[in-house]
Structure 1
């Protein structure tokens, strides 16, 4: 391990840490944070006439709050763990200091019950992001711990209102209570789907919006499993950004494929006539499934999509493809000899998957070696090869990459942090290793992540 202990490699030297107290990393709380964010258990009505018990949420209670940051400005969050188990918070898609990334043992100690940790976030990119635990991940996310984060542009694009949509399922039985959160047979395949689809913890919500106004719909799929195709049909609207990055040319809001972890920003001109409704649907074998409705109210504001200012590109460096090093990653089945290791952040008890024939053994103080070492500032082409008949949304922490090519389809030149890798697909993406640290790299179908399809990449400072 390059002449240092594994613990030093994972957490850095003592000089880079704030303090250890009671075995956990505790930040300096000499001054007040911008936000205190409790993690707690709660009860909430997800379905009419029922109250779902044993949920988990962020904030004071109810649906997790939308967190709003300003591009390039520091924002501090004191996460307070009020659960009776360890937790941690990861800020999905943010290219931030590695020490703030929220991955147990890789970047910090888990936050024990009754303890807190101060995250200082400086987001270089604007757009739609989200946050969730990375410890006891499946159970905590399944019970409600997923929230939307917005990083506002330095220049206002000109919307009248901004509406984040936290799109996710819950696995509930007919009585509105949680049923089994996953099934091992499904974990070894495409994953276990939820039974109740929600937006902001509501089933088929209706949002009243001023007629003729301009609304920014921020779709964030925070689900554990489901890959969906979404349509905002018969609407004066356009997709303006995907996975936090603006599109060079807006596209129609139809056939938008979003897997767990992915986001889409849609500019919607609310209809002119009061009472007129625009519907967001997800395709299914039984026909369109209503996700949310948007109803015009009042007298028309008379706005036009042409009034909006284009979103500025995020400052993601362009890879030097002519001098880029190629790194191969194979996503496949787990070696038979691999077994999950017990740890404070939980295990599903199975190992089904691997990256480069190495299965993640669990979130423990002694994880496996990095999948790859990158040099700071160097350009790379990552070749993703899926050997399985299942799709995998591949997420890389701390870095953004650009889609290049696929052996199965034409890829748009999108910049992203989460790419849906289709069954038996080989995809190439490019990036500049511009952010030092140990960056988690995994499938965002959480059952796959927690049964082996996880690793990390190190960018040397």
Structure 2
């Protein structure tokens, strides 16, 4: 039993790391694509310069991030993907409610694309907003090494967004480099850093260690922000400029609001308008309880602009659709959940000591104290901001660290999650991040394109500003209620978006039957 966990005897070494002779990674192209267009997307290794170091990474169409796709809501694209990378792959179109067979889940919606092979996707864009694409095979390696790109879906409705003068599409990410100036190696045979995920020590904003961006005084700059990191939650600030939150994962927020920070968990998005009213330099920062990390500079230079968007910046707009949803939510807030899912960790006692004959520890109640609680971790507000357990984390694998979803709907613990929905269903799902785990940690919970959801409440506090989402951050010890609007039939995945947690068991699939 559980033989599929035992690939550690077959670790055919590490993925290649030598950048010599590879083309230098380019900057992402902005591709304006019309309904019915065909896009060719090629995966191949690139040499990426990061300050003094040059490292071997992977790119879509030779760039990191891959090309930004700009498409109109309601259009359809044909995407021919060719794989010249290091391992088999798929492309997952994150957040898009598309046809199930193009969702990019290996062995479930398609066979993985072998090295040298190709696959054609037909993708649809039913919702405006900001989405992204990435692999769904060994994301701990392939996505980490640069396989990610953004999709901006332009609304069919003309004044869907408030006016803006300039768009900056930005990914925030981190990468772990060793003292030798190379990316810390990945095993071909297993996922390590399983306890916490791989926290990087180099920050990449749109693939660059510290890009310089430009704006004119008086402009409203729209930041399209995606967290493409594996495990790190970003707390983004832009001191000296006013920020207005206008959108989230899938379209606009219920009501625009002025904010001083934007918290993004892995795979979440935010759309933020910034008023750059004074000349000077603005720094995009990531703040943790202990550090401020500069990520990028926005140089506000040149002749001031008399901006229509600047005039409209003070106006806080409301979304009529979400305002209408709000009026129906009362009964859902008080209703018992339809599904209850606990997020649980079980660590073999030998974790980190390379004893691979692990029991799976489900029935084992002793010894949680070593890993439980906040002792010695950089935990604040239920978020692990840094990897404070680097040695233990690096040596933990899916052999010793078991991340699980436990279905508590029936009041008992079911390790197998067997959910069946129908198109048209609305489902209240309660996510419980157990403190009584061997290593409680935050989890970005992601539902694939069967639908989209609203966060109803966090710890019984009603969500003050609704937005359609596909990923929600569940902090340590937190209970989050979401309302899932089921729209697309097929077999769909749900998982923690920290790849190391997913590969250690934190995933399941559910079925949606046609209406």
Q: What's the TM-score bracket when you normalise by the shorter of the two chains? A: 0.7 to 0.9
1:155-204 per-residue CA deviation (whole Å, 9 max, x = no partner) reads 2643222111111001112343111459988522x323111011011112
Structure 1 residues 15-414: aligned runs within 5 Å: 34-46=38-50, 48-53=51-56, 55-154=57-156, 155=158, 157=161, 158-181=163-186, 186-188=193-195, 190-273=196-279, 276-303=280-307, 304-307=309-312, 326-334=338-346, 351-356=401-406, 371-387=418-434, 388=437, 389-398=440-449, 399-407=451-459, 411-412=463-464, 413-414=466-467
Whether the 8 Å CA contact 1:165–1:217 is kept in 2: the answer is yes
1:456 aligned residue: 509
Whether the 8 Å CA contact 1:403–1:411 is kept in 2: the answer is yes
Q: 1:194 to 1:140 in 2, by over 3 A?
A: same
- Write the distance in 2 (CA, Å) between the matches of 1:169 and 1:52: 14
Using the TM superposition, give the Cα deviation of residue 456 of structure 1 relative to its aligned residue in structure 2, in angstroms: 1.4
1:362 aligned residue: none
Q: 1:167 to 1:174 in 2, by over 3 A?
A: same
2:15 aligned residue: none
Using the TM superposition, give the Cα deviation of residue 233 of structure 1 relative to its aligned residue in structure 2, in angstroms: 2.3
Which residues of structure 1 form unaligned runs of 5+? Answer: 1-31, 340-346, 359-367
Using the TM superposition, give the Cα deviation of residue 337 of structure 1 relative to its aligned residue in structure 2, in angstroms: 5.5
Using the TM superposition, give the Cα deviation of residue 227 of structure 1 relative to its aligned residue in structure 2, in angstroms: 1.1
Using the TM superposition, give the Cα deviation of residue 408 of structure 1 relative to its aligned residue in structure 2, in angstroms: 6.5
- Write the distance in 2 (CA, Å) between the matches of 1:386 and 1:251: 28
1:384-436 per-residue CA deviation (whole Å, 9 max, x = no partner) reads 11124211110000121111123275533332111111112222111222111
Using the TM superposition, give the Cα deviation of residue 377 of structure 1 relative to its aligned residue in structure 2, in angstroms: 1.1
Secondary structure class of the residue paired with 2:253? strand
Using the TM superposition, give the Cα deviation of residue 329 of structure 1 relative to its aligned residue in structure 2, in angstroms: 1.3
Whether the 8 Å CA contact 2:194–2:398 is kept in 1: the answer is no
- Write the distance in 2 (CA, Å) between the matches of 1:162 and 1:311: 21
TM-score by length of structure 1 reads 0.81
Q: 1:186 to 1:175 in 2, by over 3 A?
A: closer
Q: 1:170 to 1:37 in 2, by over 3 A?
A: same
Whether the 8 Å CA contact 1:246–1:312 is kept in 2: the answer is yes
Secondary structure class of the residue paired with 2:500? helix
- Write the distance in 1 (CA, Å) between the matches of 2:338 and 2:93: 28
Residue 481 of structure 2 is aligned to residue 431 of structure 1 = no
Using the TM superposition, give the Cα deviation of residue 135 of structure 1 relative to its aligned residue in structure 2, in angstroms: 0.7
- Write the distance in 1 (CA, Å) between the matches of 2:289 and 2:459: 27
Please say which of residues 205-214 and 304-313 is displaced more in the overlay.
304-313
2:377 aligned residue: none
- Write the distance in 1 (CA, Å) between the matches of 2:320 and 2:444: 23
Which residues of structure 2 form unaligned runs of 5+? Answer: 1-35, 348-357, 362-396, 409-414
Secondary structure class of the residue paired with 1:143? coil
- Write the distance in 2 (CA, Å) between the matches of 1:278 and 1:57: 29
1:210-232 per-residue CA deviation (whole Å, 9 max, x = no partner) reads 23222211111000010121212
Secondary structure class of the residue paired with 1:51? strand
Secondary structure class of the residue paired with 1:211? coil
- Write the distance in 1 (CA, Å) between the matches of 2:238 and 2:183: 30
Q: 1:227 to 1:75 in 2, by over 3 A?
A: same
Whether the 8 Å CA contact 1:124–1:315 is kept in 2: the answer is no
Q: 1:317 to 1:438 in 2, by over 3 A?
A: farther
- Write the distance in 1 (CA, Å) between the matches of 2:200 and 2:405: 26
Using the TM superposition, give the Cα deviation of residue 131 of structure 1 relative to its aligned residue in structure 2, in angstroms: 1.0
- Write the distance in 2 (CA, Å) between the matches of 1:409 and 1:337: 39
1:34-87 per-residue CA deviation (whole Å, 9 max, x = no partner) reads 2101011111102x232112x111113443211222111112211111124200
2:470 aligned residue: 417
